Structure 1
Amino acid sequence: MNPVELACVVLPLTALLYGMLGMRVRQERRWWGRFVTRRIAALVVDPYHAAAGRRPLGDDVQAAAARLLLDGLVTVTRRGNLALTAAGSDPGAGAGHPVPDALLAALRRRTAPASLGNVHARDAELRAAREEFHTACRNRLRSRLPAKPGRAGRPAAWAVWATLAVIVGTALALVGTDPHGPAEGAAATATWFAVPVQIGCLVRYGRLRDDARREALLSEGRSRNAPHPALAELAARDPETADRLRVSRGRTRRRRNRGRPRRSGASAGS
């Protein structure tokens, strides 16, 4: 195909795709500002769900440990090992929330003090309890999302497929070109540069269809940069313990059999 003719087709088509994308982005922002921002202002999100994955400021696991420390159910050593107190060893004691209670149960299954990072990495029951809790929270938030603009509440699927077809068609047409002269060379070069532009357009369309991003923004709400209340309270009441807890969250390796569950045969032999 003649490179000049191909460029005359591909470049306006690429501009049209980006114009359509701009309209969708503008519509998306208006929808988000009009509906979802109001929902965020009135939305009550569980603080442990809002803290999930927020490692720099302390995630939900670290917040759960802070809650247990504040309630006097565990202590943390200078090495960052969590140990049960006499109150924490009582099977009837609890923090009254699924995440701290799951962490407390995990510590009770240990035979020696262990770091928070190690418990989180190696205790499958703790991870399962956290996932169950966060799944329930995500489902509740998803049910509160208003319908998105466009057909079936999603950006038009045909726009994604049309963009993909343009990318494939442009690439195949470029393979069959044989530019001669500066005019055809410049046209072929411009057409080649249009391909990554089209790919970027396809990626942006994909982001418009990303429900997880919207749910994450709903989870964070207005307290996006605020630490969990238990972590803030612990830092204000006992900064040294809060520092130890941060160290404990970062330690995942197990040393000197710290908290390793003993086998029944080894216990009987000892």
Structure 2
Amino acid sequence: MDPVVIACVELPVTALLYGMLGLYGVRQRRWLQMAVDRCAALVVEPYHAAAKRWWGEDDVAAAGARLLLDGLVTVNHRGNLSLTPAGSNPGRSAGHPLPDAVLDALRRRTAPTPLGNIAFNDSAFQTARKNFHITALARLWAHLPEQMRSSALATAGVWLLLGWQVYTTVVLMAIPPTGPGDRTAGWVIWWSLVAQFVWFGLYGRQRKRTGSLQELLEAHVAVLRWHPALTELAERDPETAYRLRTSRLRTRRGRNRGRPRRRTAPAGTTG
């Protein structure tokens, strides 16, 4: 193919690519602003918002605080949770999936246990917790604008562009220039190819700079305060709140793991 003809194609293609990059940037900024505005207006599920906090303030601790406030469980100085008569009643519930999951886990136990032990060792509770957060996140996504995604047509266009670049490079290397016009066209083509390769980097950097919707959600949720149940418990009964924190941090029930201790014979006695 004549280098002059290739040059006449390369220049419009390069201009079109940078024009599309500018339009994409405008569209992405508008979408990002819309997502930020909607994030600010979202009412996030408090237990879901607390999931990323440290153990003493997370969703599991908040569920334990809710049960303590409702009088369904008690916590001793070692951090072991015990059911109250109201909590032992199978017909009584906390009215929320996560505290109910903690309550069900305690009902399956034969001895008092710390909250951390339930969180780490109770598979049924772990499944209920995971399902709750999946549902809560799906509700958030339903109220946010759909994230911009590359269509199949755009992907095909990228592959077509790469194929054209390879073809152009092969033609220029295979056909030596025969005059000033060919030499000028060759330089135009080479600089157009360089500009197109730079375009790929700018496009990827722009997508990375704008961020993802998941990052927006996490940034919005991260600024939320403590769960209301933890705040209420800390104000009403600071000692119980401290015991609950101890309960959340403990992952084992103790040496006997809740089983009755063996009676040992006094020293000096013989069997």
Q: TM-score, normalised by structure 1?
A: 0.62
1:66 touches 1:231 (CA, 8 Å); kept in 2? yes
Kindly provide the amino acid, as one letter, of the partner of residue 246 in structure 1.
R
**Partner deviation per Cα, 1:215-260 (whole Å, 9 max, x = no partner):** 4345x2xx72400000010011011111111111111133233347
Match of 1:61 in 2: 60
Give the letter aligned to residue 229 of structure 2.
Answer: A
Which has the higher mean CA deviation after the structures are superposed, 208-217 or 234-243? 208-217
Aligned: 1:85 with 2:87: no
Change beyond 3 A, Cα 1:146–1:244: same
Distance in 2 (CA, whole Å) between partners of 1:46 and 1:239 is 25
In structure 2, the partner of 1:214 is 216
Change (3 A) 1:225 1:42: closer
Alignment-derived partner of residue 32 in structure 2: 32
Match of 1:82, SS?
strand
Name the SS of the counterpart of 1:66 in structure 2. Answer: helix
Does the 8 Å contact 2:35/2:213 carry over to 1? no
Distance in 2, matches of 1:207 and 1:59, equals 30
Given that 1:160 and 1:202 are in contact with CA atoms closer than 8 Å, whether structure 2 keeps it comes out as no
Please give the residue correspondences for 1:200-211 in structure 2 after superposition, counting only pairs within 5 Å.
205=207, 210-211=212-213
Root-mean-square deviation (CA, aligned residues, Å) is 3.9
> Can you give the 5+ residue segments of structure 1 that lack an aligned partner in the other structure?
1-19, 166-197, 261-270
The corresponding residue for 1:230 is 229
Q: Distance in 1 between the 2:215 and 2:157 partners?
A: 20
CA distance in 1, matches of 2:79, 2:157: 53
CA deviation string 1:63-85 (max 9, x = no partner): 00000000011111111111111
Q: Is the 8 A contact 1:160 1:205 kept in 2?
A: no
Give the Cα separation in 2 of the matches to 1:224 and 1:90.
Answer: 38
Q: Which residue of 2 aligns with 1:98?
A: 97
Per-residue displacement from partner, 1:143-168 (whole Å, max 9, x unpaired)? 2221345655xxx779999xxx9xxx
Q: What is the SS of the residue equivalent to 1:91?
A: coil
For 2:144, the equivalent position in structure 1 comes to 145
Q: Is the 8 A contact 2:36 2:216 kept in 1?
A: no
**Cα distance change on mapping 1:157 and 1:99 into 2, 3 Å:** farther
Give CA deviations for 1:48-102 in whole Å, capped at 9, x if unaligned.
Answer: 1111121166111110000000001111111111111111111111110000000
Structural mapping, 1:94-133, within 5 Å = 94-133=93-132
State the partner residue of 1:44. 43
Aligned residue for 2:248? Answer: 249
- Report the CA distance shift for 1:26/1:91 in structure 2 as closer, same or farther (over 3 A): same
Identity %: 53
Q: Deviations over 1:184-228 (max 9, x none)?
A: xxxxxxxxxxxxxx7xx968845756443234345x2xx724000
Change (3 A) 1:21 1:100: farther
- Distance in 1 of aligned mates of 2:158 and 2:235: 50
Whose Rg is larger? Answer: 2
User: 1:21 and 1:247 mapped to 2: Cα distance?
Assistant: 54
Q: Does the 8 Å CA contact 1:27/1:149 hold for their aligned counterparts?
A: no
Contact 1:142/1:215 (8 A) holds in 2: no
- Aligned residues between the structures: 207
- SS of the equivalent of 2:57 reads coil
Partners of 1:110 and 1:259 within 8 A in 2: no
In structure 2, what is the Cα distance between the partners aligned to 1:230 and 1:159? Answer: 53
Alpha-carbon distance in structure 1 between the residues aligned to 2:239 and 2:206: 45
Residues 150 and 133 of structure 1: CA distance in aligned 2, closer, same or farther (over 3 Å): closer
Contact 2:55 2:248 (C-alpha < 8 Å) held by counterparts: no
Q: The residue matched to 1:52 in structure 2 has which SS?
A: helix
Cα distance in 2 for partners of 1:29, 1:88 equals 51
